[in-house]
């Protein structure tokens, strides 16, 4: 098989050959049909998250090299271990990469994405930047039916992350227009999912003009440059009512700061992005506005099943996908880091 190796932090991604694994026990071997390139991959490559104030959270203890990244994978089953059940050779699945220890209280509650000893594919174990992927158990495979496997791959992280975050808005999503910060891969995914969820609509904040245009094409009510001196007033005008929900898909000091500034009384901001930095919060305003700031990290395997069922019922999602060969993985990652990607890059072996 061919796979893309990351041999150390900030090193070149290399396409290498290695023996194709034979599935043992409950394992399932799939031929990869699509592998999304996510911002988390850029953080793994960099080796740290920026906590602000010069503090970094190192990935050194979590990552073992060489690593095959890729946690947004779809594929076709080609071989089953002797104990593997519930999937069939030739069928197509999304691979739920969010595999926990199976023993902690989060795993017991079905929240494997919150496990403190994760075995995530593409992070802690080899993932989808390859032409084959080994999945430990068929229960992590979700049937995608007739969905385009390349467009379906990003549902595993980009889709699930935005879906789980949008659900945290509650009924407000159908009642009010919301504010979405960021129109990268997650932002466009959020706008598409909002349609399926019967949401009222979103005003998007995004500094890049091409991405603002993409947001308008994906159904945003308005797309505003947060760098404009009157950005806050523009958002309020476009919304036409107080801000009850902000979805921060960037997660920088600036984005969370403007998000909180926008929030009206009893409003909620859900932060999803991991760009980095430390937020300066005017603390008295938190109680005075009875505001809620909530974090949302990926989503549960159960939510991924819900999401794929929702997308299948609607015949697919019009996600903007930039298809590239496996050999272009390094360039794709650097393009993403430099903000040159509109929509989602999916590696197609
Ligand atoms: Zn991801
Ligand atoms: Zn666990």
Per-domain boundaries in the chain: 2-156+299-347, 160-295
| DSSP code at position 228 | S
Q: Which ligand is nearest to the CA of 100?
A: 2
- Mention every residue, 6+ apart, whose C-beta is less than 8 A from residue 318: 192, 218
pLDDT at 341: 87
Q: Which ligand is nearest to the CA of 99?
A: 2
The pLDDT-based confidence of 148 (bands split at 50, 70, 90) is very high
- Residue 67, beta-bridge partner list: 6
Q: Which ligand is nearest to the CA of 107?
A: 2
pLDDT at 95: 98
CA of 297 to the centre of ligand 2 (A): 15
Average pLDDT, integer, range 227-250: 96
- pLDDT (tens digit, 9 = 90+) per residue, 299-312? 999 999 999 999 99
- pLDDT higher than threshold 90 for residue 57: yes
- Residue 16, beta-bridge partner list: 3
CA of 28 to the centre of ligand 2 (A): 21
| Integer CA distances (angstroms), 73 to 150, 189, 343, in order | 9, 16, 16
CA of 72 to the centre of ligand 2 (A): 20
| DSSP code at position 95 | E
Please state which of the four CATH numbers 3.40.50.720, 3.40.50.2300, 1.25.40.10, 1.20.210.10 is assigned to the domain occupying 160-295. Answer: 3.40.50.720
Task: Dig out the tokens for 343 from the structure.
Answer: 């929509």
Angle between helices 158-167 and 301-313 (to 10 degrees): 100
Q: Which ligand is nearest to the CA of 40?
A: 1
3-class SS of residue 106: helix
Q: Which ligand is nearest to the CA of 117?
A: 2
Q: Which ligand is nearest to the CA of 101?
A: 2
CA of 125 to the centre of ligand 1 (A): 14
pLDDT at 185: 87
- Mention every residue, 6+ apart, whose C-beta is less than 8 A from residue 108: none
Say how far apart CA 21 and CA 59 lie, in whole Å. 27
| DSSP code at position 19 | P
Q: Which ligand is nearest to the CA of 184?
A: 1
pLDDT at 259: 96
- pLDDT (tens digit, 9 = 90+) per residue, 75-116? 999 999 999 999 999 999 999 999 999 999 999 999 999 999
Q: Are 215 and 343 in contact (CB under 8 A)?
A: no
CA of 70 to the centre of ligand 1 (A): 8
Q: Is 2-156+299-347 CATH 3.90.1150.10?
A: no
- pLDDT higher than threshold 90 for residue 280: no
Average pLDDT, integer, range 215-221: 96
Question: Average model confidence (pLDDT) for the chain?
Answer: 96
Average pLDDT, integer, range 111-133: 97
Helix or strand (DSSP H, E) at 109: none
CA of 344 to the centre of ligand 1 (A): 11
Q: Which ligand is nearest to the CA of 118?
A: 2
Angle between helices 158-167 and 185-196 (to 10 degrees): 60
Percent of the chain with pLDDT over 70: 100
CA of 249 to the centre of ligand 2 (A): 26
CA of 4 to the centre of ligand 1 (A): 17
> Do the first three CATH levels of 2-156+299-347 and 160-295 match, i.e. the same topology?
no
- pLDDT (tens digit, 9 = 90+) per residue, 23-50? 999 999 999 999 999 999 999 999 999 9
- pLDDT (tens digit, 9 = 90+) per residue, 181-216? 999 889 999 999 999 999 999 999 999 999 999 999
- pLDDT higher than threshold 90 for residue 318: no
Strand-pair category, 2-5 with 14-17: antiparallel
- pLDDT higher than threshold 90 for residue 286: yes
- pLDDT higher than threshold 90 for residue 285: yes
Say how far apart CA 314 and CA 42 lie, in whole Å. 31
pLDDT at 320: 82
CA of 166 to the centre of ligand 1 (A): 16
The least confident of 61-65, 242-246, 296-300 is 61-65
- pLDDT higher than threshold 90 for residue 265: yes
CA of 140 to the centre of ligand 2 (A): 15
């Amino acid at each position: 098989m061919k796979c893309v190796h990351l041999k150390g932090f900030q090193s070149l991604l290399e396409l290498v050959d290695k023996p194709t694994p034979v599935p043992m026990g409950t394992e399932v071997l799939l031929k990869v049909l699509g592998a999304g390139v996510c911002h988390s991959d850029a953080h793994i490559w960099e080796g740290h998250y920026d906590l602000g104030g010069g503090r970094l959270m190192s990935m050194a203890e979590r990552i073992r090299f060489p690593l095959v990244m890729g946690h947004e994978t779809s594929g076709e089953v080609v071989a089953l271990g002797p104990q593997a059940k519930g999937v069939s050779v030739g069928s197509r699945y999304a691979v739920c990469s969010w595999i926990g220890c199976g023993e902690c209280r989060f795993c017991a509650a079905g929240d494997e994405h919150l496990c403190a000893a994760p075995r995530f594919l593409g992070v802690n174990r080899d993932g989808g930047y390859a032409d084959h992927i080994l999945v430990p158990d068929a229960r992590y495979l979700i049937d995608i039916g007739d969905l385009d496997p390349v467009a379906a791959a990003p549902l595993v992280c980009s889709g699930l992350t935005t879906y789980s975050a949008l659900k945290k808005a509650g009924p407000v999503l159908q009642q009010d227009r919301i504010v979405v910060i960021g129109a990268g891969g997650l932002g466009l995914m959020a706008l598409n999912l909002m349609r399926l969820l019967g949401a009222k609509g979103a005003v998007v904040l995004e500094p890049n003009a091409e991405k603002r245009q993409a947001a308008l094409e994906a159904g945003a009510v308005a797309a505003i440059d947060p760098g404009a001196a009157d950005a806050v007033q523009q958002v309020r005008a476009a919304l036409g009512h107080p801000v009850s929900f902000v979805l921060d898909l960037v997660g920088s000091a600036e984005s969370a700061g403007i998000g909180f500034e926008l929030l009206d009384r009893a409003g909620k901001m859900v932060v999803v992005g991991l760009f980095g930095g430390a937020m300066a919060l005017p603390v008295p305003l938190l109680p005075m506005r009875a505001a809620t700031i909530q974090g949302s990290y990926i989503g549960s395997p159960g939510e991924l099943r819900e999401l794929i069922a929702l997308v299948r019922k609607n015949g697919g999602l019009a996600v903007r996908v930039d298809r590239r060969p496996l050999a272009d993985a390094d360039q794709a990652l650097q393009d993403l880091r430099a903000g040159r990607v509109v929509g989602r890059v999916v590696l197609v072996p």
